[in-house]
């Protein structure tokens, strides 16, 4: 019985790993928190229509979310962050622009 409980716990925790895996990014010197990325992706995913007529791989692109991150006052203009995500809500690609110029995200 203990083994079954351990296996159930392991399966539950492994199911949560994609959620826990979203990391913080720094784009153009401005921190983009992983929690913000997670909430923006989740909100966008909930508002996308369900597509009944086709089959999907979980790694296929599900959508794109765009939002602004504002640095502290006096440290420049806002950064526009664009994130492509898949059906597991994992980040596939992240790009950012400031003043119509691309900035690196690490």
Q: Over the stretch 62-90, which tens digit does the pLDDT of each residue have?
A: 999 999 999 999 999 999 999 999 999 99
CA distance 38 to 21: 10
Whether this model's pTM surpasses 0.75: yes
- Beginning with the edge strand found earlier in the chain, give each strand of the sheet holding 101-103 in spatial order: 61-69, 79-86, 91-98, 101-103
Whole-number pLDDT of residue 2: 58
- Residue 9, pLDDT > 60, answer no
- Residue 33, pLDDT > 90, answer yes
């Amino acid at each position: 019985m203990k083994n079954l409980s351990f296996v159930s716990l392991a399966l539950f925790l492994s199911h949560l790993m994609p959620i826990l895996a979203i990391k913080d990014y720094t784009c153009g010197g401005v921190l983009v928190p992983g929690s913000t990325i997670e909430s923006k992706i989740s909100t966008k995913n909930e508002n996308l229509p369900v597509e009944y007529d086709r089959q999907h791989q979980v790694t296929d692109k599900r959508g794109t979310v765009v939002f602004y991150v504002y640095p502290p006052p006096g440290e420049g203009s806002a950064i526009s962050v664009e994130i492509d995500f898949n059906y597991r809500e994992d980040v596939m690609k992240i790009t950012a622009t400031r003043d119509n110029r691309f900035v690196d995200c690490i």
